[in-house]
Structure 1
Amino acid sequence: MAPSATADLVNTSSGPLAKTTNDDVDVLASMAHRGKSLPGIPKFSSHVETRQWQLEHMAGAFRVFAREGYAEGISGHISVRDPEWADRFWINPLGVHFGLLRASDMICVDLDGEVVGGNTTGSINAAGFQIHSAVHRARPDVHAICHTHSVHGRAWSAFARPLEMINQDVCYFYKAHSVYSDYGGIANEASEGQRIAKSLGDEGKAVILMNHGLLTVGQTVDEAAFLFCLMERSCKVQLLADRAGHEKHIVSDKEAAYNFRMGSTPDTLYVEFQRHYQYEEALSSGSFKQ
């Protein structure tokens, strides 16, 4: 069973709603015609409600990833920090295809790797635990982490180079992504996860893992998942642009910073992902919420 709820959830630093600010809401309003913006991250009155919402959106993100073709054998994982217990997070079971995952399949573990709730009959990816636990330890502000071996992410990772600001969308990563260029093989050792977390930095939203793939983080699973989809497509765009062999025009620092400020708030990135989530919800009749 999931960890029990003992108190109502308030918008505090321990939950996924922690850093939602008036500025985020203002940005959402400014991006909609005449200020009629879409609703941002929802608020709940209890840990139980928040936990269920997180798990449903986690499962929905996996369904989106499956449809996008990010599944590669038993590799790839998403984790979400528990809203009540800051030293616990939920992660997908080993060996289940992304397209089959449901909210009830997720496993809750503590930072030492002990299963403490959820699907207690399943097992988790050992390398995935090392990566996710290290990032959750290093970044208390991070509540969700996405990592898969997507095709274009792996291809671009071979160059050990950051993405160039060659279009509006990639500016969501402006000065907010890094490159981990000290590849140490499958991350079965805690030290590899710790080095990846260090490469992500104190405020980074994403890291390109040389010879490995991509990793993104967020205050909600929706934010982290949207950033992952965007980064994968940005790697594809970068590869296509480089292959064309023509002169590239880079977005100026001023405009890139503006785009980042407008597009990279937690609420905005949450809203960005809802179109993907709602489409998957309609296609599957919401079966992943079970």
Structure 2
Amino acid sequence: MISNKISDSNEISVENKSKYSDIEYLTRVKLAAAYRLVAHYKWDEVIYNHLTARIPGTDYILLNPFGMRFDEVTASSLVKLDLEGNIIDEGSSNLGINSTGYVIHGAIHRARPDIESTMHTHVNDVVAVACYKEGLLPISQNALIVGDVSYHDYEGISVNLEEQGRIVKSLGSENKCLILRNHGIVTCGNCVEEAFYFLYQLTKACEIQVKMLSIVGGDTSKLTIPSEEIKDFVIKTARSFTKQGNGKKEFKALYRLIETIDDSFKN
């Protein structure tokens, strides 16, 4: 169990009493905590949407069972898949997976070994920005922190494996945030913490943009746009706050919150 004393370390430590290796169990716990946090912020959509994590040092990813709410997800309920979409361990349920989760997330994990975690949501303001022709505008500090964002044109519900190559191409080789036109967003990270960090920042940036556009009646000429120099400064400054990687300190703080509310996600 994590100590009640707050440590300077950004790393989360948990006692492993499961059948899984230490690294797999820790990955499961962090991903389950992320699911609970998404539910806590009300970014979930019944049983839909997905968060994934690659088990470090393997070609296996973890995905939520199809039929379980985000506030029900636990470490042991997560389904283990290989990168071809085959179920290796169905977890503690027999619910299986939603194939759309593999189409989007599996494609990214296969093509981008630098990405350990992906998160996909359909929050109202996020979808509104995804429908907006101009996309995400660099009008808030949160939008500047996110940095460059990729876009993928809508092709309907993601059930076609042929779309995987186009999703990967749209994301590109370096970006970690993808806006799915008319659909939602995908954020990526080199760990669960970083993917959640971008999910938080991008979601808030979209909320601010929708509110701001409503204030100005959609007239973008009334908006102030920071210079490229300021944008670069914001990105570099934000990255310097957490030397061990984007989002680790923030995620650990939120981990303590969700652990206090209900620590059953560790089971």
Fold-level similarity (TM above 0.5): yes
**Offset at 1:267?**
1.8
Whether the aligned pair in 2 keeps the contact of 1:88 and 1:108 (CA below 8 Å) is yes
Q: Determine the structure 2 residue equivalent to 1:39.
A: 9
1:150 equivalent in alignment to 2:123: yes
Give the whole-Å Cα distance in 2 for the aligned partners of 1:200 and 1:38.
34
Q: Determine the structure 2 residue equivalent to 1:260.
A: 235
Partner residue of 2:95 out of 122, 125, 148: 122
- For the structure 1 residues 125 and 160, does the alpha-carbon distance in structure 2 shift closer, same or farther, using more than 3 Å as the test? farther
> Deviations along 1:61-81, whole A, 9 cap, x unmatched?
111111111221332001101
**Offset at 1:274?**
2.2
SS of aligned partner of 1:256 = helix
Q: Determine the structure 1 residue equivalent to 2:171.
A: 200
Any unmatched runs of 5+ in structure 1? 1-36
SS of aligned partner of 1:104 = coil
How many residue pairs match? The answer is: 249
Whether the aligned pair in 2 keeps the contact of 1:222 and 1:270 (CA below 8 Å) is yes
Give the whole-Å Cα distance in 2 for the aligned partners of 1:41 and 1:259.
25
**Offset at 1:41?**
4.3
Whether the aligned pair in 1 keeps the contact of 2:49 and 2:121 (CA below 8 Å) is yes
Whether the aligned pair in 2 keeps the contact of 1:135 and 1:194 (CA below 8 Å) is no
Q: Determine the structure 2 residue equivalent to 1:91.
A: 63
TM-score in terms of structure 1 length: 0.80
Whether the aligned pair in 2 keeps the contact of 1:79 and 1:90 (CA below 8 Å) is yes
> Deviations along 1:227-267, whole A, 9 cap, x unmatched?
11221111010111112117222222112112112224662
SS of aligned partner of 1:216 = strand
Whether the aligned pair in 1 keeps the contact of 2:116 and 2:191 (CA below 8 Å) is yes
Q: Determine the structure 2 residue equivalent to 1:135.
A: 108
Give the whole-Å Cα distance in 1 for the aligned partners of 2:167 and 2:256.
32
1:100 equivalent in alignment to 2:68: no
Give the whole-Å Cα distance in 1 for the aligned partners of 2:84 and 2:246.
33
SS of aligned partner of 1:190 = coil
Give the whole-Å Cα distance in 2 for the aligned partners of 1:109 and 1:99.
21
Amino acid corresponding to residue 100 of structure 1 in structure 2: E
**Offset at 1:185?**
0.5
State, as a whole percentage, how many aligned pairs show the same letter. 30
Amino acid corresponding to residue 96 of structure 1 in structure 2: M
1:70 equivalent in alignment to 2:52: no
Q: Determine the structure 2 residue equivalent to 1:282.
A: 260
Any unmatched runs of 5+ in structure 2? 1-6, 15-19
Q: Determine the structure 1 residue equivalent to 2:157.
A: 186
Give the whole-Å Cα distance in 2 for the aligned partners of 1:278 and 1:191.
41
Q: Determine the structure 2 residue equivalent to 1:220.
A: 191
Structure ranking higher on relative contact order (CA contacts 8 Å, 6+ apart): 1
SS of aligned partner of 2:245 = helix
Q: Determine the structure 2 residue equivalent to 1:230.
A: 201
